[in-house]
């Protein structure tokens, strides 16, 4: 009997070489070509409409950009231009903004819910999941490929939308941080919201094993996550506190670039004790009726204001995109785990 | 050979020959529709009860705050400034409900319309369903009618509640009852749009024979129809005051819905089972 004394290299001879990942590109394309074609087509059509309408909005905006926002100080021409902008251009832009906020969940539900559930519904999972590639790797590859495609498309579209929406920020007094319709539709947050709703759809599709109920549930879960994001946004550890309440009047109106997101303000008396209600209402009166004149504060009292400066826009985007991305990865992992556990 | 000389009355059962079985009564379809679509009906009911309760709670809150602002004299006093400063966050909440109410008809129709026929075709259960004694035309007509009624009644409730809910903001935001986004949510227009979206979904589901593409198509068709109505048709209505406009829009939408339902039944009738 001959004993082999050389060390065996198990991966080379014993098991067949695993199917390379790049093979999954073709499979994903072939199975989901309807999504890969229809999503860019729909977004391209919407982009053309946005460009056409956006050019008109920018043109109208350029005519009134030097007008004062306060109706009492507007000249005849200005008030005509403003009225035309508010009643002729803004309603359509408002609809666009509503659709833009629905876009992540619609994209995610239509692309995500059938991703794994369709194989179960039609029984093709018996064939697909017994391929040499391995069912978990297949699920991961499909989630990553479709998810990345959707996120990139969503990012490109949100860049266009941000350009389109720029004129409305100042006129409609929307702040890029405190107004959800603006913060949610720009930068990193919009594509990550799209990614989250996509993996939620895939996970719920795998959980329910049926596409349509999973789509409906995706809408609900997405709404909850969105409300959660709105709730915690003011709590991000990026706030500053100032005792100089005058600085904010220099920025003008909430829609102007550089305007901070003011969270709250309070008044303290001598020794740091909270001020009495009568002092607070006196200070509020001078702030509320104010404008340009300095706020008259009784001696020894301080107005404190907690706010996010405009320069913290990108750090806030990073924090929000960060935790949403972690959530997306966790939900995606849960979906793959369900694929792993399901008996063929 | 006996010849029957009595004139035959079709539809009545002949006790001697038993030639024509009595047709299955329509009301039997009530149970069938419930059984086939109980997931949809229960989910819709839960969502609507939640929406109605949420809007009621928030509405009472807002109306209370509004009454405080409206009755505040003099306007610049310290007591009045506080509600003034909170009115922006009130608007914020109200606008959220408004967006939900604006999108609810199409979302509900999206999930209820396309599966009515398309799911039977996808699962091939139509071979069983359409060969029942009631007949496929009556089967389809009954299901469409029952589901349409089940969706229209909540739409009326939501629309009435939202009209009350949104009232304080009409003057504050320079809105009138003929402002497109307000007009849509009221009286006849809102249930009519819900109904039309449902009929369009059912028709597209029958035409495309697959639920998911039909849902996407319904969404696109609804958006297109709403946009065309908003910017193309409504300015050219023969009437320009609120109630005549509501009647006109409600009427043509109901006609459109009836045409789509007739198209659905036509497709079902000529589909080879």
Domain residue spans in chain A?
21-236+313-341, 240-310
Using an 8 Å CB-CB cutoff, list chain A residues near B219. Answer: 106
Helix (H, G, I), strand (E, B) or coil at A268: strand
- B122 lies in a domain? yes
In angstroms, what separates the C-alpha of B107 from chain A's closest C-alpha? 9
Are A211 and B102 inside 8 Å of each other by CB? no
Cα separation, B84 vs B82, whole angstroms: 5
Are A285 and B43 inside 8 Å of each other by CB? no
pLDDT averaged over every residue in chain B: 82
Residue A212: which of B77, B115, B220 has the nearest Cβ? B115
Pick from A82, A95, A264 the residue to mutate for testing the B interface (most B CBs within 10 Å). Answer: A95
* CB crowding A302-317: b at 16 or more within 10 Å, else e: bbebebbbbebbeebb
What is the predicted pLDDT for the residue at B35?
A: 87
Residue A285: which of B39, B81, B115 has the nearest Cβ? B81
Are A215 and B111 inside 8 Å of each other by CB? yes
- B181 lies in a domain? yes
Which residues of chain A carry a pLDDT beneath 70? 1-15, 246, 249-251, 283-296, 344
What is the predicted pLDDT for the residue at B7?
A: 46
- Answer whether A315's CB lies under 8 Å from A238's CB: yes
- B210 lies in a domain? yes
Cα separation, A167 vs A162, whole angstroms: 10
Cα separation, B253 vs B260, whole angstroms: 10
What is the predicted pLDDT for the residue at A3?
A: 59
- Total of domains in chain B: 1
Are B107 and A281 inside 8 Å of each other by CB? no
Using an 8 Å CB-CB cutoff, list chain B residues near A34. Answer: 213
Show contacts of B89-97: CB within 8 Å, 24+ apart.
B90/B62, B90/B65, B90/B66, B91/B169, B91/B172, B91/B173, B93/B58, B93/B62, B94/B58, B94/B62, B94/B165, B94/B166, B94/B169, B97/B54, B97/B55, B97/B58, B97/B162, B97/B165, B97/B166
Using an 8 Å CB-CB cutoff, list chain B residues near A91. Answer: 179-181
Pick from B41, B79, B81, B124 the residue to mutate for testing the A interface (most A CBs within 10 Å). Answer: B81
In angstroms, what separates the C-alpha of A7 from chain B's closest C-alpha? 55
What is the Rg, in whole angstroms, of the alpha carbon atoms belonging to chain A?
27
What is the mean pLDDT of the segment spanning B149-156?
A: 91
Residue with tokens 């969404």: B219
Per-residue model confidence as pLDDT tens digits over B20-36: 667 777 778 888 888 88
- Answer whether A277's CB lies under 8 Å from A267's CB: no
Task: Cite the DSSP H helix spans in chain A.
Answer: 10-13, 23-31, 33-64, 76-84, 90-122, 125-128, 135-171, 180-183, 189-208, 211-233, 277-288, 313-341
- Give me the helix-helix angle, A90-122 and A33-64, nearest 10°: 170
What are B182's two structure tokens? 């307000």
Helix (H, G, I), strand (E, B) or coil at B209: coil
Q: Find residue A267's DSSP bridge partners.
A: A303
Chain A residue with minimum CA distance to B219: A106
Whether the per-residue pLDDT at B240 is higher than 50: the answer is yes
Whether the per-residue pLDDT at B12 is higher than 80: the answer is no
- B12 lies in a domain? no
Are B213 and A102 inside 8 Å of each other by CB? no
pTM of the full structure: 0.85
Residue A282: which of B43, B78, B107 has the nearest Cβ? B78
Are A101 and B78 inside 8 Å of each other by CB? no
Are B102 and A98 inside 8 Å of each other by CB? yes
Pick from A89, A204, A216, A280 the residue to mutate for testing the B interface (most B CBs within 10 Å). Answer: A216
- B57 lies in a domain? no
- B30 lies in a domain? no
Pick from B212, B216, B223, B235 the residue to mutate for testing the A interface (most A CBs within 10 Å). Answer: B212
- B25 lies in a domain? no
Residue predicted with more confidence, B55 or B18: B55
Kind of pairing between the strands at A240-242 and A302-308? antiparallel
Chain B residue with minimum CA distance to A102: B103
In angstroms, what separates the C-alpha of B81 from chain A's closest C-alpha? 7
In angstroms, what separates the C-alpha of B78 from chain A's closest C-alpha? 5
Are A212 and B111 inside 8 Å of each other by CB? yes
Domain residues for the domain of B266 are 97-270
Residue A211: which of B78, B212, B223 has the nearest Cβ? B212
Per-residue model confidence as pLDDT tens digits over A180-234: 888 999 889 999 999 999 999 999 999 999 999 999 999 999 999 998 998 898 8
Residue A110: which of B84, B99, B216 has the nearest Cβ? B216
Whether the per-residue pLDDT at B70 is higher than 90: the answer is no
Pick from A285, A290, A291, A305 the residue to mutate for testing the B interface (most B CBs within 10 Å). Answer: A285
What is the predicted pLDDT for the residue at B185?
A: 87
CB-based burial of residue A121 (10 Å sphere; 0-12 exposed, 13-18 middle, 19+ buried)?
A: middle
Other C-beta atoms lying within 10 Å of the C-beta of residue A274:
11
Question: What order of strands is seen across the sheet that includes strand A302-308?
Answer: A240-242, A302-308, A261-268
Q: What is the DSSP string of B139-200?
A: HHHHHHHHHHHHHHHHHHHHHHHHHHHHHHHHHHTT--TTSHHHHTTSTTHHHHHHHHHHHH
- Answer whether A260's CB lies under 8 Å from A309's CB: yes
Whether the per-residue pLDDT at B6 is higher than 50: the answer is no
Q: Using an 8 Å CB-CB cutoff, list residues of chain B that contact chain A.
A: 39, 43, 76-79, 81-82, 84-85, 99, 102-103, 107, 111, 115, 179-181, 211-213, 215-216, 219-220, 223, 231
Are A215 and B43 inside 8 Å of each other by CB? no
Q: Using an 8 Å CB-CB cutoff, list residues of chain A that contact chain B.
A: 34, 38, 42, 91-92, 94-95, 98-99, 101-102, 106, 110, 114, 211-213, 215-216, 219, 281-282, 284-285, 288-289
Are B180 and A101 inside 8 Å of each other by CB? no
- B228 lies in a domain? yes
What is the Rg, in whole angstroms, of the alpha carbon atoms belonging to chain B?
24
Per-residue model confidence as pLDDT tens digits over B179-232: 777 888 888 899 999 999 999 999 999 999 999 999 999 999 998 998 888 888
Other C-beta atoms lying within 10 Å of the C-beta of residue A26:
9
In angstroms, what separates the C-alpha of A292 from chain B's closest C-alpha? 17
Using an 8 Å CB-CB cutoff, list chain A residues near B215. Answer: 110, 212, 215
């Amino acid at each position: 009997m001959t004993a082999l004394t050389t060390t065996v290299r198990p991966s080379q001879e014993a098991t067949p070489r695993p199917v390379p990942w790049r093979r999954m590109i073709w499979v994903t394309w072939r199975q989901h070509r309807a999504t890969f074609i229809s999503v860019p087509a729909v977004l391209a059509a919407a982009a053309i409409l946005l460009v056409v309408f956006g050019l008109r909005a920018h043109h109208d905006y350029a005519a009134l950009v030097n007008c004062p926002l306060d109706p009492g100080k507007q000249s005849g021409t200005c008030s005509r231009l403003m009225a035309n902008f508010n009643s002729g251009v803004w309603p359509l832009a408002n609809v666009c903004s509503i659709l833009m906020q629905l876009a992540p969940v619609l994209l995610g539900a239509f692309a995500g819910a059938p991703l794994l559930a369709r194989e179960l519904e039609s029984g093709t999972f018996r064939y697909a999941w017994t391929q040499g590639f391995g069912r978990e790797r297949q699920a991961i590859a499909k989630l990553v490929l479709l998810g990345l495609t959707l996120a990139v498309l969503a990012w490109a579209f949100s860049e266009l939308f941000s350009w389109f929406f720029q004129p409305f920020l100042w006129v409609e007094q929307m702040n890029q941080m405190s107004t959800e319709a603006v913060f949610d539709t720009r930068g990193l947050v919009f594509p990550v919201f799209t990614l989250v709703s996509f993996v939620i759809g895939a996970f719920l599709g795998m959980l329910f094993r049926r596409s349509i109920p999973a789509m409906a549930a995706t809408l609900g879960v997405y709404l909850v996550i969105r409300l959660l994001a709105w709730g915690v946004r003011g709590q991000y550890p990026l706030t500053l506190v100032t005792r100089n309440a005058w600085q904010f009047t220099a920025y003008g109106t909430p829609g102007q670039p550089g305007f901070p997101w003011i969270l709250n303000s309070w008044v303290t008396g001598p020794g740091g004790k909270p001020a009495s209600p009568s002092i607070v209402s006196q200070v509020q009166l001078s702030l509320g009726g104010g404008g340009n004149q300095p706020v008259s504060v009784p001696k020894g009292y301080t107005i404190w204001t907690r706010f996010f400066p405009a320069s913290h826009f990108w750090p806030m985007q990073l924090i929000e995109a960060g935790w949403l991305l972690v959530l997306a990865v966790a939900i995606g992992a849960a979906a793959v785990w369900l694929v792993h556990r399901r008996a063929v | 050979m006996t010849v029957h000389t009595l004139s035959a009355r079709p539809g009545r059962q002949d006790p001697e020959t038993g030639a024509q079985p009595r047709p299955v009564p329509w009301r039997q379809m009530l149970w069938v529709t419930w059984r086939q679509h109980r997931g949809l009906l229960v989910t819709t009911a839960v969502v609507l009860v939640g929406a109605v309760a949420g809007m009621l709670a928030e509405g009472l809150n807002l109306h209370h705050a509004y009454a405080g602002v409206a009755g505040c004299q003099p306007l610049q006093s310290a007591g009045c400034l506080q509600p003034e400063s909170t009115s922006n966050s009130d608007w914020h909440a109200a606008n959220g409900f408004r967006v939900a109410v604006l999108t609810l008809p199409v979302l509900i129709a999206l999930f209820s319309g396309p599966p009515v026929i398309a799911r039977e075709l996808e699962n091939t259960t139509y071979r069983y369903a359409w060969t029942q004694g009631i007949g496929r035309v009556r089967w389809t007509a009954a299901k469409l009618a029952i589901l349409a009624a089940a969706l229209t009644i909540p739409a009326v409730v939501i629309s009435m509640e939202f009209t009350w809910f949104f009232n304080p903001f009409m003057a504050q935001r320079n809105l009138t009852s003929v402002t497109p986004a307000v007009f849509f949510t009221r009286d006849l227009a809102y249930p009519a749009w819900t109904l039309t979206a449902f009929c369009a979904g059912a028709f597209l589901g029958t035409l495309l024979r697959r639920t998911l593409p039909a849902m996407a198509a319904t969404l696109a068709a609804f958006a297109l129809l709403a946009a065309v109505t908003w910017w193309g048709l409504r300015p050219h209505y023969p009437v320009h005051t609120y109630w005549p406009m509501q009647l006109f829009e409600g009427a043509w939408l109901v006609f459109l819905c009836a045409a789509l339902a007739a198209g659905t039944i036509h497709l079902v009738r000529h589909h080879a089972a």
